[in-house]
Amino acid sequence: MKSYVVGNWKMNFSVGESSVYLHKLLQRTHAYRDIEVIVAPSLIALQPLSLQIDRKKIRLAAQTANPHDFGAFTGEVSFTQLRGIADYCIIGHSERRHLFHESDKQIRSSVASALRNQITPILCIGETDTERTFGETYDVLRDQLLGGLSGVSAEDITKVIVAYEPVWAISTTSDARLASPDEIASIIQFIRQTLNEHFGQEVGENIPILYGGSVKPTNAGAYLTVPGVNGLLIGGASLIADQFTEIIEIAKKVKS
Ligand code: PEP
């Protein structure tokens, strides 16, 4: 299975800055057969960057999209409109769930719409600090996972990527709040087992599962060697070319 290194730029960089930054990344990145490097710029930059990108080296992802194909949805952009521009879309990121109140139902519609439009969904799931404290982690993860994927056909499920991002570990500056590789290992095993139970072992075993939560060059190697982790979803460190390219190199080393 390929490894994935995904950079979520969130609401950072102007269109011009995004283009300059992408240029820098393209200069420093090689075309790897076994590593898929993906960046998710803000929506306004996606189309111009799609003309600049070298897809052999880096692919583009949207950070969200509206599941309706067209219509009276002021301010929204649909998966249909992103077709041919982005190859991937992050769906159900914790900021979308918590700041913009996206429900599992909306997220499920987004996963379906992405698949209908040949865009690979990267479905994010993760428990909050409070849910973790109250021992609800596994229930929350199961609900988010199956809530997002129920109804996906046997054929389409093979095109989905899952990202486990504990909300309490996102964008932390404190080492004490980083998720430990052991903790992640048990959770990845649970996610894999849930996928196996619902979609069959052969399919479940082949769905890529990424980890995200304050990944940096100093911890990327440890996270990438957790059994069952097939890549990383990176926020803050993806905005710094030295750090992002170092993480890609680490992924390459771990893979070989
Ligand atoms: C994220 O928001 O998806 C993320 C993982 O951010 P960070 O790497 O900054 O924790």
Instruction: Give me the percent of the chain exceeding a pLDDT of 70.
Output: 100
Cβ atoms within 10 A of the Cβ of 104, count? 18
What pLDDT score does 23 carry?
98
Average pLDDT, the chain: 96
Asked whether residue 199 carries a pLDDT value surpassing 90, the answer given is yes
105-146 tens-digit pLDDT: 999 999 999 999 999 999 999 999 999 999 999 999 999 999
Q: φ, ψ for residue 54 (rounded to 5)? A: -105, 105
CA distances from 151 to 50, 52, 71, 148, 252 (A): 31, 36, 24, 9, 35
Q: How far apart are CA 37 and CA 87, in angstroms?
A: 12
Residue 72 vs residues 62, 66, 139, 200, 211: alpha-carbon distances, Å: 21, 11, 36, 39, 36
Q: How many CA atoms lie within 13 A of 199 on its CB side?
A: 25
Nearest atom in ligand 1 to 93's CA: 3
Q: Which atom of ligand 1 is nearest to the CA of 10?
A: 2
pLDDT of residue 256: 86
What mean pLDDT is predicted for residues 162-191? 93
Nearest-CA residue for ligand 1 atom 2 is: 235
Ligand 1 centre distance from Cα of residue 35 (Å): 20
Say whether pLDDT at 201 is over 90.
yes
The mean pLDDT value for 22-42 works out to 96
Q: What is the pLDDT of residues 228-251, one digit of tens each?
A: 999 999 999 999 999 999 999 999
Would you state the pLDDT for residue 122?
A: 98
Task: Report the DSSP pairing between strands 161-164 and 209-212.
Answer: parallel
- Say if CB 230 and CB 210 are below 8 A apart: yes
Q: What is the pLDDT of residue 173?
A: 82
Q: Which residues are catalytic?
A: 93, 165
Instruction: Please say if the pLDDT value at position 75 is more than 80.
Output: yes
CA atoms within 13 A on the CB side of 178: 14
Using the predicted structure, report yes or no on whether residue 83 has a pLDDT greater than 80. yes
Whether the per-residue pLDDT at 176 is higher than 80: the answer is no
User: Mean pLDDT over residues 153-178, rounded?
Assistant: 92
Q: Which atom of ligand 1 is nearest to the CA of 212?
A: 5
Torsion-angle region of residue 230: left (phi > 0), alpha (psi -120 to 50) or beta?
alpha
- The span from the CA of 9 to the CA of 16, in Å, is 14
| Strands, E assignment, 95-138 | 120-125
Strand duo 88-91 + 120-125: pairing: parallel
Residue 114: the pLDDT is 98
What whole-number percentage of the chain has pLDDT above 90? 96
Task: Supply the residue whose CA is at minimum distance from atom 3 of ligand 1.
Answer: 235
Q: What is the pLDDT of residues 56-73, one digit of tens each?
A: 999 999 999 999 999 999
> Residue 175: is its pLDDT beyond 90?
no
The ligand 1 site (C-beta within 6 Å) comprises 8, 165, 170-171, 212-215, 233-237
